[in-house]
Structure 1
Amino acid sequence: MTPSLVPDVPFIERQVSPLLSAGRFEEAEAMLHPYLASGSGPLALWKLLAAAIRPQGRIAQTRAIQEMLVAHAPGDFATRFDLSETLLLMGEFERGWREYHYRYSLAHTTVIERKVQRPRWTGQPIPGKTLLIHDEQGFGDTFQFMRMVRWAKERSGARVILEVNAETLSLAQRNKGSDDFDDIVVRGSLPPAFDVHCEMMSLPMAMGLKLADLPGRIPYLSADPQRLEKWRQRLAGLPRPLLALVWAGRPTHFNDANRSLTLAQLAPLAGPGVTFLSIQKGPAAAAATNPPPGMSLVSLSDEIHDFEDTAAILSIADLLISVDSSPVHLAGALGRPVWVMLPFVPDWRWLLARTDTPWYPGMRLFRQPSRGDWGSVMATMAAELDRFAT
């Protein structure tokens, strides 16, 4: 490396970080390239390079850089977590789950980590003991991984206590007394005495979850019969097919700009003979008052008070069309048909280059062919929707 290319790391970081934040990944890569072209250079710049090339879809190259970073700095837990998501995205579950454990060592995860003064269950049989399984992250994560509670009970031979957030409690409670778990408590309350514990999303690591193990029993959640009757009456008389619609995720999600759309972007899906049901929540729900031309849209957003309402609507609707959000996982757990709109580089759970998913057999994935290209996604879905509606 010539003297002119000796990197001033803090200066380069100040130049590159705004480019990454603005989604100008190619420019960030070009700025870093002269300092790393020889194959050596400061680890901090290699981390920036990985952050620049991953959104461009160069996953294998990203992994190679992350593997190098972990080898040189095994105590850099943030990089180990980044590697875990890359491995899981590539379907390499065995090591991916192990590295995923490093999520608890990051600044932004301190609010979800439980300081439990009991050993963590590692997958061994523990007959006669009590195992506490507790959720930890978003609602979608809870819906997705709740299937594994039953497997953990079978593997451990233990009495299982399930702890979940208040918003998903009633849905989970309907499995109480089954083979899934023995008792259930809401997060924030004092659980009964237990011997070992495991976070719900550490169950894959403890049990060595493989792709071949999926999907397991489907459905594993069900709608409340009283809510079903309420919503059957509410939706009676609407022309079918009924297509539930979610176009935006939680605005505070770190990746929301990459996964969420506006309702106007779904205009190509509009057509005769289809009734769309807006089950969108949050600020984006207001757009349902002004749907795209030709879209017959009934807004249910203000009538949905909890996930029990959402579950009932999804059980009646013919299809859910959604961005990557918690209703996707709720519908999948209910065994309902779902079409998911995915960004070019999706969340790790959707793997790569598949139009299906091992997690939910009734689900189809519609992926951006290039970064930001929702137009192609809409064109493909519109053609499929014509066939679905006839």
Structure 2
Amino acid sequence: MGAAASAQGDDAWALYRRGMEERAAGRLDAAIAMLDRALQRRPDFPEALCAGAYILQMRGHAAGALAFYERALTLQPDDAVAWFNRGGLLMAAGRAEDALQSLERACALQPDNAGFHCNRGGALFDLGQLAEASEAFERAATLDPGLAKARLNLGNALMRLGFYHDAREAYLRAIAIEPVYALAYCGLGIVSKELGLFDDAMRAFDQALAFDPNSEEARSNKGCLQLLLGDFASGWEGYEYRWTKGKRPVPVSSARFNLGAPESLAGRKILIVNDHGLGDTIQFFRYVALLARAGAQVTFAGPRKMRRLLASAGAPVVWRDECDLSGDFDAVLAISSLPRACGTRLDNIPAETPYLFAEPDRHAVWRGRLCGEGLKVGLCWRGNVDFRVDPRRSIPPEALTPLAGLEGARLFSLQKGARAEELPPELARKVENLGEEPDSGPYAFIDTAAMMTELDLIVTCDTSIAHLAGALGRPVWVALRHIAEWRWLDGREDSPWYPKMRLFRCARGDDWAEPLGRMAGQIRKAWALQ
């Protein structure tokens, strides 16, 4: 290197150090100016590129930050901190798989860095690799016993895996490390609820809110617990915070509707927006129909594929795409907010069924397809398998085996995407699979609703099939975990939402064999089967 190049390099380092001093002092504009000058003198300066990338990252300029990190890592591929920061940037952008690759490089370069392993666990968690995520969080907690975040994240992963007692211990250890930790108290509340420790759960949510009164997670989970316990007056208020930040479709509405006074609703222009899964849409569409029949001018922004089924309610509703929120309305609110807006309590749930109906022509087709003697039972055992939606509501196929012994019964699969090999052999031989034809068109549940009308009983897990059967007024038996979702309340064998529904809960945790065996016994008794 010549003397001029050496002097230029020294000058670049001096500018870099001044830039870092400015960054440490919080003067980011001055820091960027110094780093830019350093890079003008030495374009292949990985330390300055990384420092500039970090400032861009802090300021939300993700694309520029990513370009800087990638240039720096081309020049200096063994920079663990750059790989770590790049991973964090990709995580924030929702690119968990790419983030994991960066974080694994960081961990390989600095295997004893607890923070690196903790973030690697976060990427694994987002990818649904929960067992691997829990191992990464354990490693982080072992490397740094004072890292409360690692214990918190470990609790989150263990809870998703269903290891509730271990998850509870992880949250308690996080709190022991950091006593003022709202997120850990919120996690403790959720897992305590799953364990049936409702008083402990309520105290944990209250403590979380004492530390962070604006915690939407604590407010929504406390609201769900109150709903589970039948306290609808308080529960609906917390339930309004059920969306993660940035996912709320419409603001919280102050609108209130008196279904008992139609004159107060006549002419009111109301936009109702779909907000959750198809089961929620079916359950709460009863309110849409009631408001429209009471004289309100109701527009429903919902999934196009649900339109034909919901139109069977016969209510005068204007339909539009769920992304179209334009126009002037007296009230705009999410469909799942309608029970709150209508002042719903346990003793006044509008539970008249059926409020949805099978289409006559489709009913005629399936009447012919399902004709014949014997008790006709429809089966659905699997809901959404996305770990964020709680796939543990699904019934393990082997638990359905007792139904195979129902002599004189015909079993029909209502399971979308069912595969014969996923059922136990003795059951697979008995279940009639109706092929790929049902609901293969652009509209959901049209054929399923028609099939249900010809069935004597529907046996299902907690999924949209349960709500559809209930809305059609069909006899439906639902298998639930010991502590189920709030809408099934606690300990009840009936549902105030659907009069012809019966609930069969696991006696302990996820012991599915017990309620399915009980179902089989009660089917034999009710229909005098062998």
Summarize the alignment of residues 308-319 of structure 1 with structure 2, pairs less than 5 Å apart. 308-319=446-457
The answer as to 2:380 corresponding to 1:380 is no
Q: Secondary structure at the match of 2:344?
A: coil
Does the aligned pair in 2 maintain the 1:161–1:184 contact within 8 Å?
yes
Match of residue 166 from structure 1: 304
More helix by share: 2
Q: Find 1:80's aligned residue among 194, 209, 219.
A: 219
Q: Secondary structure at the match of 1:303?
A: coil
The answer as to 2:157 corresponding to 1:24 is no
CA distance in 2, matches of 1:195, 1:339: 40
Q: Find 1:98's aligned residue among 232, 237, 241.
A: 237
The answer as to 2:312 corresponding to 1:184 is no
Relative distance call for 1:144 and 1:245 in structure 2 (3 A) is: same
Q: Find 1:202's aligned residue among 321, 332, 337.
A: 337
Match of residue 419 from structure 2: 286
CA distance in 1, matches of 2:494, 2:256: 31
Relative distance call for 1:126 and 1:370 in structure 2 (3 A) is: same
Does the aligned pair in 1 maintain the 2:473–2:500 contact within 8 Å?
yes
Q: Secondary structure at the match of 1:254?
A: helix
CA distance in 1, matches of 2:175, 2:279: 39
C-alpha distance after superposition, 1:164-195 (max 9, x if no partner): 3112101222334xxx4343334345777534
Following TM superposition, by how much is the alpha carbon of 1:268 offset from its aligned partner in structure 2, in angstroms?
1.0
Following TM superposition, by how much is the alpha carbon of 1:33 offset from its aligned partner in structure 2, in angstroms?
4.4
Following TM superposition, by how much is the alpha carbon of 1:50 offset from its aligned partner in structure 2, in angstroms?
2.0
Does the aligned pair in 1 maintain the 2:457–2:477 contact within 8 Å?
yes
CA distance in 2, matches of 1:17, 1:133: 33
Does the aligned pair in 1 maintain the 2:301–2:325 contact within 8 Å?
no
Q: Secondary structure at the match of 1:275?
A: strand
Q: Find 1:356's aligned residue among 494, 503, 510.
A: 494
Match of residue 369 from structure 2: 234
Larger RCO (CA under 8 A, 6+ residues apart): 1
- Count of residues in Structure 1 that have an aligned counterpart in Structure 2: 373
The answer as to 2:211 corresponding to 1:211 is no
Q: Secondary structure at the match of 1:362?
A: strand
Relative distance call for 1:311 and 1:69 in structure 2 (3 A) is: same
Does the aligned pair in 2 maintain the 1:152–1:203 contact within 8 Å?
no
CA distance in 2, matches of 1:52, 1:256: 14
Task: Select the structure of larger CA radius of gyration.
Answer: 2
Summarize the alignment of residues 190-339 of structure 1 with structure 2, pairs less than 5 Å apart. 194-237=329-372, 239-252=373-386, 254-271=388-405, 272-282=407-417, 285-287=418-420, 292-293=425-426, 296-305=430-439, 306-339=444-477
CA distance in 1, matches of 2:325, 2:168: 50
Q: Secondary structure at the match of 1:184?
A: strand
In terms of mean alpha carbon deviation, does 250-259 or 77-86 score higher? 250-259
CA distance in 2, matches of 1:199, 1:28: 33
Q: Secondary structure at the match of 1:113?
A: coil
Q: Find 2:479's aligned residue among 311, 317, 341.
A: 341
The answer as to 2:507 corresponding to 1:369 is yes
Superposition RMSD on alpha carbons, in Å? 2.8
Q: Secondary structure at the match of 1:217?
A: coil
Relative distance call for 1:126 and 1:236 in structure 2 (3 A) is: closer
Following TM superposition, by how much is the alpha carbon of 1:76 offset from its aligned partner in structure 2, in angstroms?
0.7
CA distance in 2, matches of 1:182, 1:47: 40
Relative distance call for 1:303 and 1:11 in structure 2 (3 A) is: closer
In terms of mean alpha carbon deviation, does 89-98 or 47-56 score higher? 47-56
| Partner AA of 1:82 in structure 2 | N
CA distance in 1, matches of 2:299, 2:196: 41
TM-score w.r.t. structure 2 length?
0.65
CA distance in 1, matches of 2:174, 2:282: 45
CA distance in 1, matches of 2:254, 2:434: 42
In terms of mean alpha carbon deviation, does 123-132 or 254-263 score higher? 123-132
Does the aligned pair in 1 maintain the 2:249–2:334 contact within 8 Å?
no
Summarize the alignment of residues 28-39 of structure 1 with structure 2, pairs less than 5 Å apart. 28-33=167-172
Following TM superposition, by how much is the alpha carbon of 1:339 offset from its aligned partner in structure 2, in angstroms?
0.3
The answer as to 2:283 corresponding to 1:149 is no
Does the aligned pair in 2 maintain the 1:331–1:337 contact within 8 Å?
yes
Following TM superposition, by how much is the alpha carbon of 1:229 offset from its aligned partner in structure 2, in angstroms?
0.3
